[in-house]
Amino acid sequence: MTINYREHIPTWKEIREILVADIILILAFDLTIIGGISSLREYYPTFIYFLPITAVGVTLSFVLHELMHKFVAQRFGAMAAFMRSSTGSIITILSALFGFLIGIPGATVIYSNSFTRREQGYVSLAGPLTNFMVFLVFLAIGVLLYPNFLNNVLDTFGNYASLGYIQNMINFTLFISLLLAFFNMLPIPPLDGSKILAWNKPVFLAVILVIFILFVSIMPLFSFISMMAIWLVIAFLFSMFYRTIGL
């Protein structure tokens, strides 16, 4: 996700901010998997089991997504850096404590007074395309290593003990990378999808179609529709939050 904002952020601060945001999301995803803080005592071994798995999946899917926004924006001459939101970080943590996730710890902030709509579209598209690349790499690894791989992806979230550790890591990264691409492609400001739709409707529709095809290859259609409804609600809350704080 990208947000237009004018502020010079030192490199050391940006590294700190994205590391803290990454850690917050890792812990939040891990807590969500076990059902929140109330389940931690009972499912503490599961929490520990998934900690390296969420670290790999979240870091590759979230951090690379945000960095690609930054690099492409800078390529077009803009100021760009990741900025963590203190309020968003608190919301992320609190939601995970209750067993669901509203992951809004921060975003890449961009300032440019000369962006064309096409350049803004390229910058916004860079994040979801990065998630696609992560998905495809882990999909290829999974298909090469495991028979009937696509039929077992969701087992990581309901029956992880039936799978090996590496397969659970591949499954989690595969799913989270696609989930973040889907969330960011929703056409709700300030998400990437709103800017891509304003720039090029065929490109927007093509990316949405690819996400749909990839999702139904790893999960039932009804489950995807249910998940989409939930994330639409989260996206609206996300949009209202960033409008409230003036970004």
Annotated catalytic residues are: 66
Say what the pTM is: 0.89
Dihedral angle of Cα 142, 136, 57, 100, to the nearest 10 degrees: -100
Q: What is the pLDDT of residues 82-92, one digit of tens each?
A: 999 998 899 99
DSSP code for 2: E
179-187 mean pLDDT: 91
- Determine which of 6-10, 95-99, 132-136, 203-207 has the lowest per-residue pLDDT on average: 6-10
Asked if 210 contacts 133 with a C-beta cutoff of 8 angstroms, the reply is no
pLDDT at 7: 55
How much is the pLDDT for 247?
A: 47
244 Cβ partners below 8 Å, 6+ apart?
Answer: none
The predicted structure's pLDDT at residue 231: 73
Task: Name the residue with higher pLDDT: 130 or 102.
Answer: 130
The alpha carbons of the chain give a radius of gyration, in whole angstroms, of: 18
DSSP 60-75: IIIIHHHHHHHHHHHH
